[in-house]
Amino acid sequence: MAIDLIAALFVAAVTGLLVWLLRRWIPALPRWLVPASAGLALISYTVWSEYDWFPRMSAQLPPEIEVVAEREEASPFRPWSFLAPATTSFVALDHRKTLSHPQKADLRMVTLYSFARTGGMTEGLMAVDCAGQRHALIVEGAKITEAGELTGAEWLPATADDRFQQAACREG
């Protein structure tokens, strides 16, 4: 976040300086053009940075990590986001760490990574019952017994278009 602020201020300062130099060569240009161009550059960089964050971050993920959810958000502090909401966070599933239960092949344990534009990354676990079309976040105190029963957490039904469920249960 601090890097974005520094970059935005740098872009604004450089743009203002270039327009100031242009004004020295063309004295007919109005004085207000210098701060106006710096402000426009600041806003333009901020908008570009918000909309470029998700494609840039998801492109850096290895092919074995699949994006399964995105969260778009509009805010009054970013009025342009009401026209086209920007992706502010997303969740990815790591296929390299998917484990199947030895007793129940349709019971899987998957690793999820949650990325937020302003909050960094967090890691979590989810149990997925492919046969029962349900899943549960694994929280403190939750475990899966040797018989394949979940204790300490609650199963949630998966919808037909649930990308978590589809990604976790996909073979290969």
Domain range for residue 44? 2-59
Q: Are residues 11 and 87 in the same domain?
A: no
The pLDDT of residue 17: 96
Q: Are residues 91 and 138 in the same domain?
A: yes
The pLDDT of residue 172: 52
Q: Are residues 89 and 147 in the same domain?
A: yes
The continuous run of DSSP H or E covering 165 comes out as helix 163-169
Q: Are residues 9 and 84 in the same domain?
A: no
d(CA 73, CA 105): 38
Q: Are residues 83 and 157 in the same domain?
A: yes
At 131-154, the pLDDT tens digits run: 889 999 888 888 888 888 888 888
Residues of the chain with pLDDT under 70: 1, 171-172
pTM: 0.82
The pLDDT of residue 47: 92
The pLDDT of residue 1: 67
The pLDDT of residue 84: 92
Q: Are residues 106 and 164 in the same domain?
A: yes
